[in-house]
Structure 1
Amino acid sequence: MKVLIVGLGSIAKKHIKALHGQGIKDIYALRSSRDSLPNENVIDIYSLKEIENHDFDFFLISNITSKHSEIIEQLLFFDRPLFIEKPVFGEVNSMNSALVKRISNLNVPTYVGCSLRFLDCLIEIKNLTKGSIINEVNVYSGSYLPDWRPNSDFRKSYSANKELGGGVHIDLIHELDYVYWIFGEPEATKSAFSAKSSLGIDAYDYAHYLWEYKSFNASVILNYYRRDSKRTLEVVTSERTYLVDLLHNKIFQDSKEIYSSQQRIIDTLDAQMEFFLNNVLTNKITSFNSIDEAYKILELCLQD
């Protein structure tokens, strides 16, 4: 199997490791410059023209989010399945909406990478709460942006710069994605964003969403400035309260631990790649976080 990756940042390197875990070694990268630093695990190519010389099985899009639509538009010519790193685009506009519709009309298999759908505790809580009367959902994800890439200046990162499409609401769209996946599409939404913390960045470092469902509300709080990382999901049902600790892959029912897994969040990238290869690529299953679904979640993410 032969894969072309667009964008060789930190997440691409994690995808490369996941590809190796599936026995795939024939990996190419479309580079923006011949001065780009080489990666021993990939073969570099430098133009779209060179793609014609290879029979790639799929394209993996992991460049800067603001450039997703441009490169996807160019790659559609080659009629290959697309694995797109989240978020699918940096903004919602008529051009991106038309591109999503075009991809659907062309029946191009797509998957947008939100790997928390493969975290054991979230799969378990989805099953545990199925059919329950839910009264309240609370999601919290707080971490310290400078710790994300300790060997580089966080202020220069994509995440910290609004003009590059950064911001905690986009970076942590995983949380919105799994709420949508577990509980469905909300009937109404409200949101608040700000960049007021001591980080001193122009991208949003705080986001708060309130999603209204027929019989309950879901609150989602995201931030970049919490030094003691916390990532939790609380589900209050008519009979019991569940607390899901994503960082430790555990579930508590009324404060008592009822589920635990040794899997960690980084491991979900392997499960995600296995799913993509066996389902989207091989069997052309496109009902699981396709570009259509991911674009709907992006619309919810960016609504004021």
Structure 2
Amino acid sequence: MNVLVIGLGSIATRHIDAVRQLDADAHIYALRSGRNGKEVNGVRNLYSIDEVAASGIDFAIISNPTSCHAAAVKSLLPLRLPMLIEKPVFDSVSYRQLAVDLKSARVPNCVACNLRFLDSIEFLRRYISENDSRRVNEVNVYCGSYLPEWRKGVSDWRQTYSARRDLGGGVHLDLIHDIDYVCSIFGLPVASRGIVRNVSTLGIDAADYANFTLIYPTFCASVILDYYRRDYKRCCEIVFEDTTWTLDIPTDKITDSDGNIVFKGNTSVADTYLLQMRYFMNLVAERRYECSNDALEACDILAISTDYERFD
């Protein structure tokens, strides 16, 4: 299998590792913006779309900075290559027409929101779908982590795209996973409200705090995200009429308000990258055009995360 990668950062490394676990003989190519780029072992460099077209590529992974996703999709669209697009799909919903064009051209595409593949989130998605008569009164989602420690070996974390607004960074985009999995479980909200800020001690110009309220017909879901929490925490509370379930994402476990285990999965967040890649590679192999999170669906979720008031 021949795989093209656009953007050779840390997330690309995860995707490449997943490809190689699933296909040890896969050939990895990278479309480079110039000839001064760092050589990566086992990756062959390409420098033009013409070279891409001549290389027999089976699918592409778009993992460059978010602000460059739209240009990458537009350049590959005429080749009709299946695309795995790193989240968020774009940095603005103004590029929605590109997602429509992908669907119209029947180009297989999937946006990489790997938390959808965590066992406990898949359990919740099934449970809510199959028990729609059980009343949910409230949902509370939180993710707090420490951006300076995200990427080991980076000389200046403030120059990573996550920390820079001009590259499409900001916690409301970087941690769109948490809005995404809420929507995958409960569907799209009827409305949303959001605020973002960047007034923490991190001193970056991208948003380092975000607070969204997703409004559903009979409940609201609160999603709070930040870049500055040193003790990593990622969780989701579902407040039913008679009990509260708490999902702890790092341990893939759901407990009720009495401490009883409702569900215990067997995946780690690291495992979800492999599960996601297996899903996508099967989609490509089977020539299927519909997936659980294509660019058009991802644009609906992006519309939530980019509709906010900013208070700096």
Whole-angstrom distance in 2 between the partners of 1:105 and 1:77: 12
Q: 1:199 aligns with which of 193, 202, 205?
A: 202
Alignment deviations for residues 245-296 of structure 1 (CA, whole Å, 9 cap, x no partner): 0011111112222332342101100000000111254241414101110111
User: Residues 205-216 of structure 1: matches in 2 within 5 Å?
Assistant: 205-216=208-219
Matched, 1:243 2:246: yes
Q: Is the CA contact (8 Å cut-off) linking 2:128 and 2:186 kept in structure 1?
A: no
What is the one-letter code of the residue matched to 1:250? K
CA contact (8 A) 2:109 2:291 kept: no
- Counterpart in the other structure of 2:91: 90
1:183 aligned residue? 186
Corresponding residue of 2:120: 121
Distance 1:98 1:249 in 2: 36
- Whole-angstrom distance in 1 between the partners of 2:54 and 2:165: 37
Counterpart contact for 1:88–1:298, Cα < 8 Å: yes
SS at match of 1:247: helix
The separation in 2 between residues aligned to 1:167 and 1:198, in whole angstroms, is: 15
Question: What is the aligned length?
Answer: 302
Q: CA deviation at 1:151?
A: 2.3
CA distance in 1, matches of 2:126, 2:62: 31
Cα deviations by residue, 1:108-131 (Å, 9 ceiling, x for unpaired): 111110000000111122233442
On the 8 A contact 1:6/1:31 being kept in 2, the answer is yes
The offset of 1:239, in angstroms, is: 2.4
Cα-to-partner distance string for 1:208-267 (whole Å, 9 max, x where unaligned): 000110111000000000010100010011222100000111111122223323421011
Q: What corresponds to 1:73 in structure 2? A: 74
Greater CA deviation, 200-209 or 238-247? 238-247
Quote the residue 2:294 is aligned against. 290
Where 1:266 maps in the other structure, the secondary structure is helix
Q: Deviations 1:144-181 (Å, cap 9, x if unpaired)?
A: 11110232222111111111110000000000100010
| 1:261 equivalent in structure 2 | 265
Determine if contact 2:96/2:296 at 8 Å carries over to the other structure.
no
Corresponding position of 1:137: 139
Q: Look up the SS of the partner of 1:244 in the other structure.
A: strand
2:15 corresponds to: 15
Amino acid paired to 1:10: S
Q: Does 1:6 align with 2:6?
A: yes
Separation (CA, whole Å) in 2 of partners of 1:233 and 1:138: 6
More divergent stretch after superposition (10-19 vs 55-64)? 55-64
Whole-angstrom distance in 2 between the partners of 1:155 and 1:256: 42
Which TM-score applies when normalising by structure 2?
0.93
Contact 1:280 1:286 in 2 (8 A): no
CA distance in 2, matches of 1:127, 1:133: 15
| Match of residue 175 from structure 2 | 172
Q: Distance in 1 between matches of 2:88 and 2:224?
A: 18
C-alpha distance in 2, partners of 1:87/1:221?
Answer: 17
Larger deviation, residues 35-44 vs 282-291: 282-291
3-state DSSP class of the match of 1:3?
strand
- Match in the other structure for 2:54: 53
Spell out, residue by residue over 1:164-200, the C-alpha distance to the aligned partner (whole angstroms, 9 max, x if none): 1100000000001000100001011110100010000
One-letter amino acid matched to 1:104: K
Please name the residue that 1:149 is paired with: 151
Once residues 159 and 249 of structure 2 are traced to their aligned partners in structure 1, the CA distance between those partners, rounded to angstroms, is 28
TM-score (norm 1): 0.96
Code of the aligned partner of 1:26: H
**C-alpha separation in 2, matches of 1:151 and 1:5:** 21
Cross-structure match for 1:101: 100
Aligned-partner Cα distance in 2 for 1:17–1:73: 26
Structure 2 alignment gaps of length 5 or more: none
Over the residues paired in the alignment, what is the CA RMSD in angstroms?
A: 1.3
Give, in whole Å, the separation in 1 of the partners of 2:111 and 2:70. Answer: 13
SS at match of 2:238: strand
- Matches of 1:171 and 1:281, distance apart in 2: 29
Which one-letter code corresponds to 2:121 in the other structure? L
